[in-house]
Structure 1
Amino acid sequence: MTIAAIYADFAAREAHGVSPTYERLAYAVTRDPELMALLAGLPPAKRQPNLLFGVVRLLGGPVEDPAAFHDYTVANWPVIEAETRTRTTQTNEAGRCAVLLPVLNALPQPLALLEVGASAGLCLYPDRYAYRYGDHPVGSGDPVLACTPTDLAPPTRLPQVVWRAGLDLNPLDVTDPADLAWLDALIWPEHTHRRARLRAAAAVVAADPPLLVRGDLVDDLPALAAQSPPDATLVVFHSSVLYHVPMPRRAAFAETVRGLPGHWIANEAPDVLPYDTLPAPPGEALHNVLALDGRPLAWTRSHGQAITWFT
């Protein structure tokens, strides 16, 4: 895809109806030759809207007004470029636990969770959060993760987790103000509820930190998985991570994870992993495919706000 197509697709399928600010800004970028030229000087993986917009927000730049965004970005491009080249999109959305919960509950308990692309590990605590599926509450406490289920009976309990670990090329620490600031910058401007949820989930993680290991999702996964307790069901999972990974490494990861004991949960865009057949998604917005051991189960929204079970 061209840079303009990437930003137009983001505006139409990801930001539309979710973030008017980013929808407007992404469309403005498609009509801005100067910004297009600057983005063309970045490696392809560094041109994505979430990364650029997050870096500008981190640096204190404006994103609400496209003209102000243009002026700030052009004037500060050397700093923005340097930050963009060294950072990756590490959105650590605890809300994704809401779409993982039905699958986790169906597996033999207790569980040993291992998240690939864990960022700060906020999704390693599905047993510590509260949920609301429509009008149906599950658990208690803060944060409360809201999710709209379709063709799915809401879960009635929380999983039992006895071990949790994460693997990431650049693990983040929620007790580090700089790392927390980056996680905050990746949250879309209007999403005050997600910002509050980040703080609440970070408090949960800080009170009982997981094992976070710096490493590669193929080369270092078996060794970390081997540390899981033998009397627990190992669950390797990931959400919106593999699109960062080149295709050959995705295939190598799939082969590696299939060779491990336990189960594999993937929550990725439909073109990231190969599936024989998928039903039509419920709308034009971008949906992920939730799959267990390579078998697709449901469509999910990227922040965990909805799940549509395959019938």
Structure 2
Amino acid sequence: MTTAADYAEFAAREAHGVSPAYERLALAVSRDHEMLALLGTLPPAKRQPNLLFGVVRFLGGPVEDPAAFRDFTMGNRPAVEAEMRTRATQTNEAGRCAVLLPVLAALPQPLALLEVGASAGLCLYPDRYAYRYGDHPVGSGEPVLDCAVTGVAPPARLPDVVWRAGLDLNPLDVTSPADVAWLDALVWPEHERRRARLRAAAAVAATEPPLLVRGDLADDLPDLAAKAPAGATLVVFHTSVLYQVPAPRREAFAEMVRGLPGHWIANETPDVLPYPGLPEPPGAALHNVLALDGTPLAWTLSHGQAMTWFA
């Protein structure tokens, strides 16, 4: 698929009805030969819309108006290119814990959590957040994570987490204002509730920062997993991460993680982690598949705002 087609598809499938600003920008970029030429100088993995838009926001550029966005991007091309080459889309959406919670709460307790592609580790605190599944609350405090759930009863309890660690090629420090500013820049412009949720989750994590290790998801996972405490159920999990990993590395990771003790929770799109015989997703929006130990369980929306259980 060409870069122009990628941006057009992003506008239609991901931004439409979710972010009018990013839908406008993505369509404009898909038709702009100069912008596409700029993106063409970058490695394929560095051309994605979320990375470009996040970098421009991080540098203080406008994202509401396509013409102003274009002027800023082309006028600051060296800085934009440099940031896009060194940064990655590390969206650390704590809301994803809401779709992980039904699985985590049902596993043998206590848990040792190990997140692959952890970013700043905000999804390592499912036991510290509050949830609202329709009119069913779980836990207390801030942030409150809302999730519309269909086909399964909401969990009755929070998990008991005794160890939390993360693996990332470029881990972010939740106590660093610059790193939190990058996470903030990755939140889409209209999503003020997500921005507030990010800040609240960062405040929770900063009181007890997780163990984050710089490393590769396949090469370095076994060593980190071996540090989990005895007597706790190891849970390796990841959500919206594998699309950034080349297919051969994905396959090597999946084969390796199946051989670890404990459990494996994946929450990825079905094109990067396919499963045979999936039912149709509940709508045209881009859905992830939530799976436990290779068995698909539910369709989920990418920020954890809804899940449809089919297992």
Question: Which TM-score bucket, shorter chain as reference?
Answer: over 0.9
Q: Deviations over 1:188-234 (max 9, x none)?
A: 00011111111110111110111111111111100100000110100
1:114-193, aligned counterparts within 5 Å?
Answer: 114-193=114-193
Q: Deviations over 1:234-293 (max 9, x none)?
A: 000000001110010001101110110000000001101131121111111100010001
Q: Deviations over 1:283-307 (max 9, x none)?
A: 1110001000111100000100000
Secondary structure at 2:281 match in 1:
coil
1:120-269, aligned counterparts within 5 Å?
Answer: 120-269=120-269
Runs ≥4 residues deviating over 4 A: none
**Counterpart position of 1:271:** 271
2:303 counterpart of 1:307: no
Secondary structure at 2:155 match in 1:
coil
Instruction: Give the deviation of 1:117 after TM superposition.
Output: 0.4
CA contact (8 A) 1:97 1:304 kept: yes
RMSD: 0.7
CA contact (8 A) 2:174 2:209 kept: no
CA contact (8 A) 1:50 1:186 kept: yes
Aligned equivalents of 1:190 and 1:230: distance in 2?
44
Aligned equivalents of 1:264 and 1:130: distance in 2?
23
CA contact (8 A) 1:92 1:121 kept: yes
CA contact (8 A) 1:12 1:285 kept: no
1:66-145, aligned counterparts within 5 Å?
Answer: 66-145=66-145
Aligned equivalents of 1:64 and 1:41: distance in 2?
25
Instruction: Give the deviation of 1:131 after TM superposition.
Output: 0.3
Secondary structure at 2:147 match in 1:
strand
CA contact (8 A) 1:7 1:29 kept: yes
Question: TM-score when scaled to structure 1?
Answer: 0.99
Count of aligned pairs: 311
Aligned equivalents of 1:143 and 1:262: distance in 2?
29
Instruction: Give the deviation of 1:174 after TM superposition.
Output: 1.2
Q: Identity of aligned pairs, percent?
A: 81
Aligned equivalents of 1:33 and 1:71: distance in 2?
14
State the AA in 2 paired with 1:137.
Answer: P
State the AA in 1 paired with 2:160.
Answer: Q
Q: Which runs of 5+ in 2 are unaligned?
A: none
Aligned equivalents of 1:122 and 1:84: distance in 2?
23
Instruction: Give the deviation of 1:30 after TM superposition.
Output: 1.0
Q: Which runs of 5+ in 1 are unaligned?
A: none
Question: TM-score when scaled to structure 2?
Answer: 0.99
Q: Deviations over 1:124-152 (max 9, x none)?
A: 00000000011111110000000011112
